[in-house]
Structure 1
Amino acid sequence: MTKGTQALKNVAVAGATQRPPQGSSEHRVAVAGASGRMGHMLIEAIRASDDCRLAGALDIASSPAIGNDAAAFLGHASGVPVTADLGAGLGHADVLIDFTRPEGTLAHLKACRERGVKMVIGTTGFTEAQKAEIVEAAKDIAIVMAPNMSVGVNVTLKLLEMAAGALSTGYDIEVIEAHHRHKVDAPSGTALKMGEVIAEALGRDLKQCAVYAREGVTGERDPSTIGFSTIRGGDIVGDHTVLFAGTGERIEITHKSASRATYAQGSLRAVRFLAGQEKGLFDMFDVLGLRS
């Protein structure tokens, strides 16, 4: 281990309120929804990182974790208490990672904009008006927003862009997604993003060509549509398949998540990317250099 790496580890252990040394490349990260499943995964990933430090932990006021050490579930004292106070939770952070609900994310967005704190937004289910609020805030702070932070998912999106261009005629397109029983929005943000990428590659508007439900006598399938099917059950982390069904053959492009750790690692890559950005709205294609 290098002296520089050891120094970063020493800073992380010293306590969340301590500022990093002058010229340090350490990223001070706050986590929203800190006591949830994704929040725990993010905190664990930050603790394991050599260049990121937990600097704040936010949750709703009714959470039983309020006041507890954010890393207590790991048997570790981080010195960062879980709080509902946005000022306390963001006061020492460079970036907030938010995988909560749209209303909560927008409240955090306002606070981050006021304080100059950058954001990584993995929340899904935003309305068009809510998305417009994020676009407006990006005039003042740098934001990475993506429905899925997984590196593998975003490489899959690039593959879908290429496949759609090559299979633009003669193939019916269906997006099938499956998630755990607790997920509250459908289709998933990732499935919708897949549809958007495909529609854009085909020169279509997803709002005009998406089909989200079929029941009864539906008539023949319109070849210009993109269909969506949703499965909810058990503890499925996230499975997505896009089917290109032609005459005599089918092409399936599938991504399956076995752990939320992939989302956490992608989020930290977004944090590092934001270190070089002052303002603007970006996505994981920007972070991973996949932009055409």
Structure 2
Amino acid sequence: MSANLKIAIAGSSGRMGRMLIEAVVNAPDCQLSGALDQPGSPALGQDPAAFLGKTSGIAITADLRQGLAGADVLIDFTRPEGTLAHLAVCRELGVKAVIGTTGFDAAQKAQIGAFAQHIGIMMAPNMSVGVNVVLRLLDMAARSLNEGYDIEIIEAHHRHKVDAPSGTALQMGEVVAQALGRDLKECAVYGREGVTGERDPSTIGFATIRGGDVVGDHTVLFAGIGERIEISHKSSSRVTYAQGSLRAARFLASHAPGLYDMNDVLGLSR
């Protein structure tokens, strides 16, 4: 890995963009080489590190080639259409990419796979190191606790979150269902009310809590007869996603073209 990894940030004036910029600026082995934003953004032309009381020597731009010039890696937490446009220029310039954007459809994922034949791309719906370790633990637990245990997934987030269950909770459910040879679409239960009858042992239950400023808590409960196993992850700050992204960027710096995920970054791939 280069002693001075040059990183460009997409969506640089957004909340996640600013967290990424702060992480890069404060990392001794990284340099902020570019900052991208949408045409018409009031942040264009400003120093992306100004909100930190620092100067980076660059300006926020909507010109993709200008923002990516000289970058080793782009970190992108934007929208599917924007990310694909960024990847097209990354391929042209030979810039690798860390993608935290979600919501891609099958055709868009195929496009990303095609780009990955030419540049290194690391894509994951959750960049938290802890969450990705928990996902692997859940796979192991579900395979071992495949009989006699009822499975419930409980998640809590702040009052402003608009979707439920959370994407991470659903990902946990997918991991558990796959390990058990089930289809989550067929076995998930998202709510209970009234006289529901006895619990179907083949189901995976979800419970959602919304309140206050909870960043994100997730617990998967394996409830057996005489014992309970709980695997939990609690986020106290979104900075964990930025730090996971930097870890992914460092990983890409020394890897060939291909499509990678956080299991590869963390050495958890089978």
TM-score, L = length of structure 2: 0.89
Aligned pairs for 1:62-101 (under 5 A) are 62-101=40-79
- Cα RMSD for the two superposed structures: 2.4
The answer for the alignment partner of 1:227 in structure 2 is 205
State yes or no: 1:54 paired with 2:54.
no
What SS does the corresponding residue of 1:152 show, helix, strand or coil?
helix
AA in 1 matched with 2:79: R
2:134 to 153, 156, 177: 156
Q: Secondary structure at the match of 2:111?
A: helix
Amino acid at match of 2:37: D
Shift of 1:52: 1.0
Q: Which amino acid aligns with 1:142?
A: G
Residue 186 of structure 1, CA deviation:
4.3
Deviation at 1:204, TM superposition (A): 2.6
How much does 1:243 deviate? 1.6
Query: Equivalents in 2 of 1:216, 1:114: separation in Å?
Result: 58
Equivalent residue, structure 1, for 2:268: 290
8 Å CA contact 1:124, 1:188 repeated in 2: no
Amino acid across the alignment from 1:49: A
The question of 1:239 aligning with 2:217 is answered yes
Partner of 2:15: 37
* C-alpha spacing 1:112/1:189, structure 2 compared with 1 (3 Å): farther
State the 1:154 CA deviation: 1.6
Shift of 1:57: 0.9
Q: Does 1:144 align with 2:122?
A: yes
Superposed displacement of residue 183, structure 1: 4.5
Whichever residue aligns with residue 84 of structure 1, its letter is A
Matched residue SS, 2:134: helix
Q: Is the 2:24–2:30 Cα contact (8 Å) retained in structure 1? A: yes
The 8 Å contact of residues 31 and 58 in structure 1, kept in 2 or not, is answered as yes
Deviation at 1:61, TM superposition (A): 2.5
Question: Which runs of structure 2 are paired with 1:1-292 in the superposition (5 Å)?
Answer: 24-183=2-161, 185-213=163-191, 220-292=198-270
Deviation per residue, 1:16-49 (Å, 9 max, x gap)? xxxxxxx953211111121122211111111111
Give unpaired runs (5+ residues) of structure 1: 1-22
**Amino acid in structure 2 at the alignment position of 1:275:** A
Q: Secondary structure at the match of 2:126?
A: coil
User: How many percent of aligned residue pairs carry the same amino acid?
Assistant: 73
**Amino acid across the alignment from 1:260:** R
Deviations 1:149-169 (A, max 9, x none): 122112211211121111111
> Would the alpha carbon gap of residues 173 and 126 (structure 1) be closer, same or farther in structure 2, given more than 3 Å must change?
farther
Alignment-mate amino acid for residue 55 of structure 1:
S
**Structure 1 segments of 4+ aligned residues over 6 angstroms from their partners:** none
Instruction: Give the letter for the 1:235 counterpart.
Output: D
Note if contact 2:150-2:201 (Cα within 8 Å) is conserved in structure 1: yes
The alignment of Structure 1 onto Structure 2 pairs a total of residues equal to: 270
Q: Tell me which moved more, 92-101 or 130-139.
A: 130-139
CA distance in 1 between partners of 2:46 and 2:265 (Å)? 33
In the superposition, the TM-score normalised over structure 1's length comes to 0.83
Counterpart AA for 1:175: I
Contiguous gaps of at least 5 residues in structure 2: none
Say whether the 8 Å CA contact 2:34–2:58 is kept in structure 1.
yes
Does the residue aligned with 2:33 lie in a helix, a strand or coil?
Answer: strand
How big is each residue's C-alpha offset from its partner over 1:89-126, in whole Å with a ceiling of 9 and x where there is no partner? 21221111112233332332233233322111112233
Counterparts in 2 of 1:195 and 1:30: CA distance versus 1, 3 Å: same
Q: Distance in 2 between matches of 1:119 and 1:289?
A: 19
Deviates more, 1:138-147 or 1:201-210: 201-210
CA shift at 1:255, angstroms?
A: 0.5
